[in-house]
Amino acid sequence: MASISYILLLIFSFFNLVHSASNASSINVTKHFSFHDFSFTNNSRLVHDVKLLGSAKFSDEKGSLQIPNESEETDIRHQAGRGLYSFPIRLLDPITKTPASFQTTFSFQLNNLTTASDISDYGGGSGLTFIIVPDEFTVGRPGPWLGMLNDACESDYKAVAIEFDTRENPEFGDPNDNHVGINLGSIVSTKIINVSDIGVSLKDGFVHHAWIDYDGPQRRIDIRLGLANQDVYPTKPIFSEFMDLSPYLNEYMFVGFSAATGNHTQIHNILSWNFTSTSQAFLRYPSSETCQGKIMLEKTTTETTAAKENSKRNETPRSFLIFMASVVLALVVLIGFYFISKHRKRAAKSNTSIDEEIHRPRPPNKPRRFRFSELSSSTRSFNEIEVLGSDNRGVFYRGKLANGNQVALKRFSAQFLSTHGSDKKRLLKEIKVISHVRHPNLLPIRGWCQDNNEIVAVYDFVPNGSLDKWLFGAGVLPWTRRFKVIKDVADGLSFLHTKQLAHKNLKCSSVFLDVSFRAVLGDFGFVLMGAESKQFESVVCNGADVFEFGVIVLEVIGGRPRVEDTEEGKSEERNLLDFAWNLHEINDKGKLVDRRMGSLINLEQAIRVMEIGLLCTLNENKGRPTMEQVVEFLHNMEKPIPELPKTRPVALFPYNSANTGLCNNYSCTLKL
């Protein structure tokens, strides 16, 4: 059975008695996952959940995660590999510097190599570690380094490893070729346990079990090791001491395994793994003074001021956002269940419904028509305090439906409707069409409203807010997250285009991040063009989407908005697209990359992605790719991309960040 489970448990504890005057409450966030084995047959999501790096593979016949990836033609000496859980785990509360508690259990087998020519090569090279590392795209050095430490940035690489070492490297202080060590940011172990003492031989070729328990608040680590082929929980740990991991942890880290071979080789197999972590955080209630709630949700207009404010507040808003997100998610799920059962009962009773469309029992997620009164009361009569943002198309509101579900409402402005939506029927039709399209990277539409000369689109509420907040605000998204966002946006957009639909309002503020930082596209443009045929329209608008996607790519890499506030002396950098093309011309594209990301950036990858972005801004008949091609370029990083023109094409069409066109650059596109 596939047994990957992901449970997000949220337990509130309100310290009412002790801290009655406190604004903060403590919250436990628990993450759990488990792999009974690593076979594709049993885990359909294996490739998605575990990221392999370097020489590593899933061995289907053994059902294991294997390092190195041995094959006839390759030399498996001097190989290093990692297998990491693909999603970051919260392991430190940045405010209190308290590490998370975690428990992990895994079984492993370090196999005798029967192909070795020399008897002394049987096993013993080099070892396996359970690692906690800051990124999920680099591999460590092979040989005695066990794939743990990273070459690129050794000095500031935070990492923790529990090593199961089968080779003696006296230069690293190894006592023998059969020990467990605790490595804190260094390959030289802080603590070493000679496991020969307890009668265990790590490289005897049998299956061993290990249990690692860390109590974050107490800062105590317990390591247990089972005897060969026995998975009974040993009551006595082989190691149990106080140890502060917090200096070696970031708030979010990746967990998994690394292993390496040197002049001597061995095959390292992880056969099963489960992991649970609990991190404690303090949830601060937003008050009207601190206005934290608003900062996270406000839209683009106050970006710069919000950024300044946020940076003063250090990491608080970021953690706050994530916990708010988790809380809201849990509530929505609970209340959702409650509502479904209640709604069914009610629907069964009322046969005499006035509006069939509203009262017919329906699957809870099916988009439906809303009454204006319903939406009005959900937003306290479209009260200003519920405003999330606004643009030239209308105002975004946060709303809470009678069933408790949180939604985001786009209320199209009267001015917009009078200029672009003269044919309201068609606008509504477009909303309905898009609301039936479902994709993991598209924000679900809950429904629409067409009363009182109003048109409102109702979306799921995404508590993490929009991408512009994360890019241009206080927190710094790491490169891997940014790359993921770009791929997510491309996937969502490409899917829309295959359905002959277009987004028509693509910009950073219409990309939202869900609880797991998956990017979803929302705030669709919806507008249909007057007399044009559907096919013509889809060609034009898809092209405009691709162009806007290219600009978003540049914004994500550069961490700066497409048009910066005019500031004397910075004019050459004012327009991001100009700036990027200029850098391309002088072959200095690395300069666009957001420096705040520090050393943990895959520059080669970033430059390739930037080139893909620039391709998207070419004229349509001069090499602008389709989203389908873009997705291929992004998912297959080996695939060659067409060469960019040496200099910026003269006719590169201008763009307008205000997106005043019907489908963005519609009018410009027509000129080509």
Name the site residues for ligand NAG (rule: CB under 6 A): 1, 11, 13, 21-23, 28, 34, 36-37, 39, 41-42, 52, 57, 63, 69, 71, 74, 101, 105, 112, 122, 143, 175-176, 194, 196-197, 204-206, 231, 262-263, 272, 274, 276, 278, 280
What does the DSSP 8-state code read for residue 342?
Answer: H
Q: How far is the CB of 474 from ligand NAG (least distance, A)?
A: 20
Nearer to ligand NAG (CB atom), residue 120 or residue 351: 120
d(CA 40, CA 17): 51
Helix (H, G, I), strand (E, B) or coil at 561: coil
Place of tokens 């509360």: 93
Smallest distance from ligand NAG to CB 632, Å = 19
For the bound state, the minimum distance from the C-beta of residue 221 to ligand NAG, rounded and expressed in Å, comes to 15
Residue 619 DSSP SS3: coil
Instruction: Give the nearest distance from C-beta 138 to ligand NAG in angstroms.
Output: 16
Alpha helix (H) ranges present in 315-380? Answer: 316-349, 356-359, 372-378
Please state the closest distance from residue 174 (CB atom) to ligand NAG, in A. 9
Nearer to ligand NAG, 36 or 624 (CB): 36
Least distance from C-beta 230 to ligand NAG, angstroms? 11
Q: Can you tell me the distance from the alpha carbon of 183 to that of 173, in angstroms, rounded to the nearest whole number?
A: 12
Contacts of 407 (CB under 8 A, 6+ apart): 378, 398, 399, 400, 401, 446, 458, 459, 460, 461
For residues 134 and 254, the answer to whether their CB atoms sit within 8 Å is yes
Locate the DSSP E strands across 206-330.
207-215, 220-225, 239-242, 252-260, 267-284
Q: In this chain, which residue has its C-beta nearest to ligand NAG? A: 205
Indicate the residue among 53 and 554 with the shorter CB distance to ligand NAG: 53
- Kindly state the smallest distance separating residue 210's Cβ from ligand NAG, in Å: 10
Phi/psi for 474 (5° steps) reads: -80, -50
Alpha-carbon dihedral 126, 130, 133, 136, rounded to 10 degrees: 80
* Residue 455 identity (one-letter amino acid): I
Nearest approach in angstroms of CB 197 to ligand NAG is 4
Q: What's the closest the beta carbon of residue 76 comes to ligand NAG, in angstroms? A: 10
Q: Quick one: how far is CA 132 from the chain centroid?
A: 18
Q: Which is nearer to ligand NAG, 76 or 556 (CB)?
A: 76
Identify the residue whose tokens are 């390496």: 260
CB of 264 to ligand NAG, least distance (A): 8
Nearer CB in complex with ligand NAG: 134/143: 143
Nearer to ligand NAG, 15 or 337 (CB): 15
H or E segment at 102? Answer: strand 101-111
Total number of residues shown for the chain: 672
- Taking the least distance from each CB to ligand NAG, the nearer of 41 and 647 is 41
Distances, alpha carbon 459 to alpha carbons 61, 301, 423, 521, 629, in Å: 45, 21, 22, 11, 29
Query: Nearest approach, Cβ of 258 to ligand NAG (angstroms)?
Result: 15
Contact 91, 251 (CB under 8 A): yes
Which residue lies nearer to ligand NAG by CB, 102 or 517? 102
Nearer Cβ to ligand NAG (57/439): 57
Nearer to ligand NAG by Cβ, of 217 and 590: the residue is 217
**Is 242 or 352 the residue whose CB approaches ligand NAG more closely?**
242
Retrieve residue 320's tokens: 């706050």
Q: Which is nearer to ligand NAG, 34 or 304 (CB)?
A: 34
Report which of 562, 604, 307, 601 is spatially closest to residue 478, judged by C-alpha positions.
Answer: 601
Rounded distance, CA 496 to CA 510, Å?
A: 15
Q: Are strands 456-460 and 445-449 parallel, antiparallel or unpaired?
A: antiparallel
Q: 497 near 542, Cβ under 8 Å?
A: yes
Shortest Å, Cβ 280 to ligand NAG: 6
- Tell me the three state secondary structure of residue 52: strand
